[in-house]
Structure 1
Amino acid sequence: MPEAHGTDEVSDARPGPIRVVIADDHALYRQGMAIVVELDGAAVVVGQAGNGGEVVDLCARLHPDVVLMDVRMPVVGGIEATSRLHAADPRIRILMLTMSDDESDLFEAIKAGASGYLLKDLPGEEVADAIRRVHDGQAIIPPGMAATLLQEFSRLSQAGSVPEGPEPTTLTDREVEVLRHVARGMVNREVADALGIAENTVKNHVRSILEKLHLHSRVEAAVYAHQQRLVPPDA
């Protein structure tokens, strides 16, 4: 199973253990995941919910840092719950839990405000690492799903179904360069090597790009770059 890779977002991480809520309609899975989450000591599970309605109410009281959200749950599904949570508190990072790496709801989940996807059969250490990464402001998407996501965004962009953001004139020339590389799927280290600058400088540029364009993740930034034709269509 491929390892989940991260991409930067603006971080609202708080000090102390990462406070996690788990939402899944299978009690045994929730209990097992709770053990996995707390195993390395970086996170603590502060609540569990069996459906989307419960998790929305729970998060309103507990204000967790990260929610592990099953895609398919009774009463209120994971995507609808993600949309409600993101609207109520955008600081909460939401990782969708799915059984399949070709999950058809990926695009809808990202649009709803999810910070990424976790495959349910990932090893425990990768789950813990993904929680730390998303808490630090990264988007977690398995490699096999990233291409599908970008293709779907590009298709809807061409059809006019994805609203365009501010003009790229709000960006500096260097930020446009960084954005072009991001849109090609390059990670910070690769962008730094390509442009001959420090990796931390790239991180600062990515943060500035997201803030200026009112975007939440590199995935959205990549879509924006293609919308604005900052990269060739076949890039």
Structure 2
Amino acid sequence: MTKAPARARNSHVWERDKFDHYVEPEWIGNALFGALDLPVGTVVLDPSCGWGRLLRGAQTAGLYALGSDIVPRWNDKEAVNFQTVRNDRGVLCLRPSLVQADWFASGDDWCPSTAPGWREPQVVASNPPYDRAEEFLELALTRATMMVVLILPLRWIAGDRRTARLETSPLYKLMPICPRPSMPPGSAIASGTRVEGGKVDFGVFVWLKGYRGAPQIEWLRKPAVARGRRVRSA
């Protein structure tokens, strides 16, 4: 059994994971791409896809999902078992393409794939490594052609230096996540440790290339009944 990272007594704050592999609840991907309502076939790249939970949401929304990570975590038994499916609107949703790659490598060297969509994805959507989130965002705004969507702590909207940068960026929408999600390291989930009860507020930050207005606020809420889209085998 995988050993869970230590945490302080009576605390819900985990020791930092080496690669910042923190896992969002499964419902977030479905709710997020349902709210964004992107056109079917839009190319969505998650460069730190981990177990593929956001990719599952993109896939079942009928989007062309691509995923990469510095560690191929899609081979873990906890990862999403992707299949080609049809969603509840009858749209054929292809299995995401997955490649081991380092998003922070310079230029086009970051990705070994030359297949369509990888070098110029329409949307970059991710739960990025938080210790390098600002660098991640800068690269995403350069490489995405349409939109950048990142799950980040809500404290990102505070602080002089960061807010000054946000004010000059094409920040289109802020979506506080409700209820407050638990975002434990993947190793805690793999070990079977109970991971409920998040203590940090998170939101989805959406940047739209070319947008110049004030950012909008829209709450991303957990569905009351359905936890995801119904799918059937293709």
* Same topology, TM > 0.5: no
What TM-score, normalized to structure 1?
0.34
1 or 2, which has the higher helix percentage? 1
1 or 2, which has the higher strand percentage? 2
